[in-house]
Amino acid sequence: MDSIWINSANHPQFDAQQKDLQTDVLIIGGGMAGILCAHMLDTAGVDYLLVEADCIGGGITKNTTAKITFQHGLIYDKLICQFGIDGAKLYLEANRSALAKYRKLCRDIDCDFEEKDAFVYSLTNRRKIEAEVEVYRKLGVSAEFVTDLSLPFPVAGAVRVEGQAQFHPLKFAYGIAKGLRILEHTKVRELLPHRAITDHGTIRAKKIIVATHFPFLNKHGSYFVKLYQHRSYVIALQNVPNVDGMYVDESDTGLSFRSYGDLLLLGGGSHRTGKKGGNWQELADFARRHYPNAKEVARWATQDCMSLDGMPYIGQYSMRTPDLYVATGFNKWGMTSSMVAAMILADLVQGKENPYAALISPSRSMLHPQLAVNAAESVIGLLTPTVPRCPHLGCALKYNKQEHSWDCPCHGSRFTKDGQLIDNPATDDRTR
């Protein structure tokens, strides 16, 4: 159940840590966000080191559908309500800048970069789409309301934005990682002020960036209640029409579409990690109904950290940790948000101001309805008298029949049937 990206890119090899080390900036996590942070610091001439517990690109990055867009669902109408038009403009500008940086970098990297139109559609609610089109126009974005899509079903409406992009995420990540100071198979077990303890020794650093998807340090930042994790599924289909664009349902449980070569990447079946959902079966049923001649050639799943308000947490880990930084909560838009994170964090660790940092700061207000939902799930998980338990904070694990794994509904850690860790925030294998 590997993604189509894994076997079509050449992974560069990096050594593991062999001795105690020292650096100005330590980056923990070798996904897209960590690699881009390393690239920007390298370009700026900053002393840095990136450490990855396994292999770079081997976590969530390898399972993305790799859309690069500032069109993050129907977010801009919500952002204006929460942060005003100036806040919405800042968020748009940050992600627009991220798209522009990808476009520039991809000129020199063979990563199947293609500019495509992006669509957010609704099956039933035309007014939602019309409202988002109007918001885009207020923000100075050329957006169009459309109803005729290259999809095998009718929609109430869609907002179309031109000039967005898609690519091969591992070809890009591996290409940009060449020549960077990276250590693989170097797992951080404990974080102390200006020190990271690994299986191979100690790494001292003036500043530390945690880019591990879900932050694993619990005593600061309250990420165990500010985040939850959401699983979604993808199947790659042959013998189907090219949809010539990137499409996503405005509903959290809807479907997404993009083509790659002669393949259609159909995504959906989503659910909160540890809960029930449509999984691959929902996608296979859809394909049988709408693409009867299709052949499934691959399937995989991914996991996203969801924030309280729809924006990522990028910046100082907490108010009490001035030299510790984080990038998390990308809300299914990891490619664009990874670049935004690198732009912000590369500035902050150099003592520079960044125009987007205050808006996306992890220390912004937690007063959102999702906070109560996350807290309730944690309490239920802690009080459920079953084993096995998650070593992260002790919640009861639920068995995932589709993926044959033990999943934590509290914070999203996942384990194999034998108890080996698959996804964080847990840092150890599960208890029996």
Give the model's pLDDT for residue 423.
79
Would 302 be classed as within a structural domain? Answer: no
244: in domain: no
Q: Are 24 and 47 in contact (CB under 8 A)?
A: yes
Residues linked to residue 423 through DSSP beta bridges, in sequence order: 414
Average pLDDT over residues 1-30: 95
* pLDDT tens profile 188-206: 999 999 999 999 999 999 9
pLDDT digits (tens, 9 = 90+) for 291-324: 999 999 999 999 999 999 999 999 999 999 999 9
The pLDDT of residue 388 is 83
- Given 319, 349, 379, the domain boundary residue is 349
* 226 alpha-carbon distance from chain centroid: 15
Q: How many domains does the chain have?
A: 2
| 391, 332 contact by CB (below 8 A) | no
269 within domain boundaries: no
Helix, strand or coil, per DSSP, at residue 132: helix
Residue where the block lists tokens 């034998």 = 418
Written as one letter, the residue type at 41 is: L
Above 70 in pLDDT, residue 281? yes
Instruction: Answer whether residue 218 shows pLDDT above 80.
Output: no
Distance CA 17, CA 104 (A): 33
For 80-130, how does the pLDDT look when each residue is reduced to its tens digit (9 = 90+)? 999 999 999 999 999 999 999 999 999 999 999 999 999 999 999 999 999
pLDDT beyond 80 at 418: no
- Spatial distance between the Cα atoms of 10 and 317, rounded to a whole number of angstroms: 34
Which pLDDT value is given to residue 431? 55
CATH assignment at residue 329: 3.50.50.60
Average of per-residue pLDDT values in the chain: 92
Say which residue, 404 or 212, is predicted with more confidence. 212
Residue 382 lies in a domain: yes
CA pair distance 120, 109, nearest whole angstrom: 29
Is 345 in the same domain as 373? no
CATH number, domain of 376, equals 2.102.10.10
47 belongs to a structural domain: yes
Q: What's the mean pLDDT in 239-251?
A: 96
Q: Do 314 and 412 share a domain, yes or no?
A: no
By the 10 Å C-beta count (0-12 exposed, 13-18 middle, 19+ buried), 322 is classed as: exposed
389 and 343 co-located in one domain: no
Question: Residues for the chain: how many in total?
Answer: 432
Look up the domain containing 415 and give its range. Answer: 369-423
* 315 in the same domain as 419: no
Q: Is residue 298 part of a domain?
A: no
Question: Looking at this protein, which amino acid is placed at residue 307?
Answer: S
User: Position of tokens 């860790």?
Assistant: 421
Q: Check if the beta carbon of residue 278 is closer than 8 Å to that of residue 271.
A: yes
Least confident range from 9-18, 179-188, 234-243, 411-420: namely 411-420
Residues 19 and 52 reside in one and the same domain: yes
Indicate whether 409 and 380 sit together in one domain: yes
**Structural domain contains residue 180:** yes
pLDDT reported for residue 343: 98
Is 117 within a domain?
no
Where a domain ends, among 349, 377, 401?
349
The answer on pLDDT for 51 being more than 60 is yes
Query: Where is pLDDT greater, at 202 or 272?
Result: 202
* CA pair distance 59, 145, nearest whole angstrom: 36
63 touches 57 (CB < 8 A): no
- The pLDDT value recorded for residue 400 is 84
> Among residues 69, 67, 117, which one has the least CA distance to residue 94?
69
Residue 432 reports pLDDT greater than 60: no
Question: How far, in whole angstroms, is CA 91 from its chain's centroid?
Answer: 17
Instruction: Mark whether 344 and 373 lie in a shared domain.
Output: no
What residues contact 192, with CB distance under 8 A and at least 6 apart? none
DSSP 352-390: ---TTTTTT-TTS---SHHHHHHHHHHHHHHH---SSB-
Distance CA 172, CA 10 (A): 11
The pLDDT tens digits for 124-154 are: 999 999 999 999 999 999 999 999 999 999 9
Q: Which tens digits make up the pLDDT trace of 338-349?
A: 999 999 999 999
